[in-house]
Structure formats: C-alpha cells, structure tokens
Amino acid sequence: MSAGSYGSPAILLRSGVGPADQLIALGIGVVADLPVGRRLLDHPYFHTAHALAPGHLEMTPAVGAILWAASGEAAPGELDLNITATHLIPPSYSPTGGVIALSASVVLPESTGTVKLASRDPGVAPLIDCNFLATGRDARRMLEGVKLARDFARSPDLASLIADELTPGDAVADDSALAAFIAGNLATYYHPSSTAHGRAGRPAGRRGRGRRRQGDQRTAGRRCLDHPRHPVHGPQPHRHDAGRTRLPARLPGLRRL
C-alpha cells in the first residue's frame, strides 16, 4: 500500500487497523488496535511576502534558495530552521507586480497531529489536524525563523531588490503581535509523514526483522511502503523528516523494484 500520509492511514482505519475506540465509534470491526493516524508529523510553514522593486520583478537569475539554520533552542548538531526563497505568492498580490516569499519553517518540530476518519465512506476525506506549534518551543522557534526571514528582507544586500513587506507588514512589529499573526496564518510545508505506525512510534513488524524490512506495516498481511511508515525518532541526520520528504518516501518502493 502506498496511498500517502493521509490516504494510507485512512485505508488502514477503514480496514479495521487503528485505535480501537475510533474504529468502534464508527462501527468498524477491530482487526488490530494500533495507533494509526495518531502521529502525523508535518512542518509548519509561514510566508513572509515582499514586493519586488521595479526593475527586479523576475527574480532572475536565481528564483529559489534554502537556508538551513540552528535556532537558539536547537539541540547540538541540529539545523531545525529552514528559510526558503520562493515564488509561491502570486505576483498579482503585489502593487509592483512582483513578489518574493521568504518562508520560514521549523523542520524538526515536536508537535504532532492526527489523521482520523470522518466516516466509513471512502468518498469522505479524513479529518486532518496538523496541530502545528502545539509546544512553546515550536512556537518560539517559528517566531525566531520568521524574524530571521524578515531580517534578510530588510538587509542592505536586498534593499535594492525589495520595495516593501507585504506580509506580515510593518504594522505587525513586536514579538507578541508577530506570534499571533504567525499562529493565524500558518501553512503546511507539504511534508506530512509518519501516520501508519504501530506501537511506541515504531512501525509494526520492526522487531525481529532484518534492516531492509524495518518499517513495514505488516499487520493483517498489509505492507505499507510509503511515507506514512517512517519512524519519528532519533536525532538529525537520521530523522527522515528533517527536511525534504520526497526521496525518503520513494526509497522503500525503489528497494522493492
């Protein structure tokens, strides 16, 4: 099975593999009482958007870059903040006709969310709660990342390229106002993972199996190959989820080709 971090747990849950209380509440027979969907990990993402100055509207030659940085609360050796320079905000939002987003993310978050079934009906989407910034440390690190992104935009090096800050905007000045603005305007970095787990955050079937089989969700004869199967533990760089997720999502399937 490889239906992604929302689809795979939904299929498992509808098949009776998941938290017994949730399954019983929906009238689904319990095949295995496992914490499927109880450990959604994703990266919170906040876009600071800046109007590009006339004469620099094309973001050329470079249109993308990523900074990896350690927050003031990072563990030794960790790079827990990303600042990405992207074109994700439509240029029509800018009075100059050009926008650059300097977007901040906590890529080693503590907060985890959930994926639950809303209905037994496979046509009904599951309920996704990212639960971003649920810990004070995550919220503080996000604030730090956003302030760093704003500082870049206001640096002398970018002064000739950036006309104005569009979001959050200069009116959002002190830390408490900025923290509230961030909390109300968070996006996802689109890196959901780790939703198809067995007990204690470890994929079912791990114990007693060879390394190649670590992470398989073999409960009831199923094998879960994609991103939901990844474990959530261990320091960087061993954490699969500390940044890009596409390659870790593909590796298990490639190994089986």
Ligand X SMILES: Cc1cc2nc3c(=O)[nH]c(=O)nc-3n(C[C@H](O)[C@H](O)[C@H](O)COP(=O)(O)OP(=O)(O)OC[C@H]3O[C@@H](n4cnc5c(N)ncnc54)[C@H](O)[C@@H]3O)c2cc1C
Catalytic residues: 191
Handedness of CA 49, 54, 56, 58 (dihedral sign): positive
Residue closer to ligand X, measured from CB, 2 or 167:
2
Please tell me whether residue 120 binds ligand X under the rule CB under 6 A. Answer: no
Cβ-count burial 44-79 (b if 16+ within 10 Å, e if not):
bbbbbbbbbbeebbebeeeeeeebeeebeebeeebb
Q: Burial, 188: exposed, middle or buried (Cβ in 10 Å; 0-12, 13-18, 19+)?
A: middle
* Binding of ligand X by 5 (CB under 6 A): yes
SS3 84: strand
| Choices 3-11, 18-26, 199-207, 213-221 (CB under 6 A): range interacting with ligand X | 3-11
Nearer to ligand X, 121 or 175 (CB): 121
Number of residues forming the site for ligand X (CB under 6 A)? 14
47 binds ligand X (CB under 6 A): no
Task: Tell me which residues in 177-216 interact with ligand X (CB under 6 A).
Answer: 190-191
Least Cβ distance, residue 250 to ligand X (angstroms): 7
Sort strands 114-116 and 127-129 into parallel, antiparallel or unpaired: antiparallel
Separation of alpha carbons 176 and 187, rounded Å: 19
What tokens appear for 244 in the block? Answer: 């890009």
Of the listed pieces 1-9, 32-40, 45-53, 145-153, which binds ligand X according to CB under 6 A? 1-9
Q: Is 226 in the site for ligand X (CB under 6 A)?
A: yes
Give the footprint of ligand X on this chain (CB under 6 A). Answer: 2-5, 7, 11, 190-191, 226-227, 244-246, 249
